[in-house]
A = this chain, B = another copy of it.
Amino acid sequence: MSVLQQAADARIAAIDLASAIRSEKDAALLLMASRLVERADDIVTANAVDVENARTSGLSESMIDRLSLTTDRITAMADGLRQLAALPDPVGDVIRGSTLANGLELRQIRVPFGVVGIIYEGRPNVTADAAGICLKSGNAVLLRGSGSAMSSNAAIVSVLRKAVADAGLPADAIQLLDASSRDSVKELMRARGLVDVLIPRGGASLIRTVVEESTVPVIETGVGNCHVYVDEAADLEKALAVVLNSKTQRLSTCNTAETLLVNATLAETFLPLVVEELINAGVTIHGDPRVATLDGVVPATDEDWDKEYLSADIAVAVVDTLEDALDHIRRHGTGHTEAIVSENVTATRRFTAGVDAAAVMINASTRFTDGGEFGFGAEIGISTQKLHARGPMGLPELTSTKYVVTGNGHTR
């Protein structure tokens, strides 16, 4: 079936889904969860096909691990859906309301977008997550997963669609797009009018392509060249903890720190200490000339300051002032997360105002920029654009609004 036909079917499903009340949607989510567990063996069998193909085509062991599904991982997917059922429904929330001078009653309420397209790479668990989040927020979803997970995704979506239908909601609210070629991505990007929002989740080149070519409105996610700035007035113990955690707690996430900026007043004290600790933690230091004098540091190239390493590497520079740190971040940051470690209120206030990013961390690890950590209960991605949503996106970020104005024959 063509993407446009699938999108048209999704639009029809979205009309019903927009009127579905919370209890109906939650019942569907719980049925989706239990069916995933019941059908875990079938899903694992389907996954084995993908894993076999991945081995044949020589994918790395870490990629194969991300692709692999086990009963435990399927149980975790089901748990995610159950947690969604427990979250409040954003649809119908009154955001703003007033009675105007002429007696008109104004309410601004949350409504679903309609049809959401999600383009993602890698792990098949995203399939269940994204389907669940969209269903809970009243949106039909078109899922365009990775070609390497085709068989797994087909099995998961088949189970989910059946569950949705058995729960009395339209099965076409969840549809998988053909991942065997790039054509489906192209068609999805041109389905303006049928698809309301497109969310690309994946590498920088995927996101850039979608942003540049899509006529459907896009929410840009995820590229993070995050900085930690250690200020003159930093508590050095906190600074060490925050830097280490920001860089090493997990290497491959978008909220991992990629550059460390150290105030020049700390060049003789804190800098050698943090460099040593990072090296001990297995991190390669790419240092500017003032850092490269230290043992074991690799001199940084111009490119290092713009790199999202997603690996055990960090670029380190000495900056003379807080303003220099802000300048550096303005030139090289991607607007994701920027952290300052400082005990000085004037410094943290200036940093907060001067940094243009989705999240600013004060004496806290960059790794906290996350829907789960923020207490949202669910996350569809982290927006690095300024329009609509910025930072971790939970259920409310998957809605639009509608003004409802009630009068008594009012005219102008």
What is A's interface to B at a CB cutoff of 8 Å? 15, 18-19, 98, 100-101, 104, 106, 108, 111, 113-114, 192, 196-197, 211-212, 215, 217-219, 235, 237-238, 241-242, 244-245, 249, 330, 341, 348, 352-354, 356-365, 367-369, 373-375, 385-388, 390-392, 400-412
A60 to chain B, nearest CB (A): 26
Chain B residue at smallest Cβ distance from A356: B114
Alpha-carbon distance A353/B196, docked complex (angstroms)? 18
Chain B residues within an 8 Å CB radius of A375: 98, 100-101, 106
* Nearest CB in chain B: distance from A76 CB, A: 19
Known contacts A114-B386, A354-B19, A400-B387: does B238 contact A412 (CB below 8 Å)? no
C-alpha gap A104/B370 in the complex (Å):
13
A359-B403, A391-B403 are known; give 7 further A-B pairs, CB within 8 A.
Answer: A197-B387, A237-B409, A359-B405, A364-B409, A365-B407, A374-B403, A390-B402
Docked-complex contact A411 and B217, CB < 8 angstroms: no
A326 to chain B, nearest CB (A): 9
Q: CB-CB < 8 A to A363: which residues of B?
A: 406-410
A411 lies within 8 A of B242 (CB): yes
- A215: chain B residues within 8 A (beta carbon): 211-212
The winner among A218, A348, A368 for most chain B CB atoms within 10 A is A368
Q: Of B365, B385, B403, which contacts A410 at CB under 8 A?
A: B365
Known A-B contacts A106-B374, A359-B403, A412-B249; A197 and B386 likewise in contact (beta carbons under 8 Å): yes
Residue pair A406, B242 in contact (C-beta under 8 Å): no
In the complex, are the beta carbons of A362 and B113 less than 8 A apart?
Answer: no
Please list the 10 inter-chain residue pairs (A to B) with the smallest Cβ-Cβ separation, ordered nearest first: A238-B409, A364-B407, A245-B411, A386-B400, A388-B388, A364-B410, A359-B403, A362-B406, A217-B387, A387-B388
Cross-chain contact A406 with B364 (CB below 8 angstroms): yes
User: Contact at B403–A358, with CB atoms within 8 Å?
Assistant: yes
The complex places the Cα of A375 from the Cα of B235 at a distance, in Å, of: 48
Considering residues A237, A364, A406, which has the most beta carbons from chain B within 10 angstroms of its beta carbon? A364
Contacts of A409 in B (CB 8 A): 235, 237-238, 241-242, 341, 363-364
Q: A359-B405, A360-B403, A361-B405 are in contact. Are A387 and B386 (CB under 8 A)?
A: no
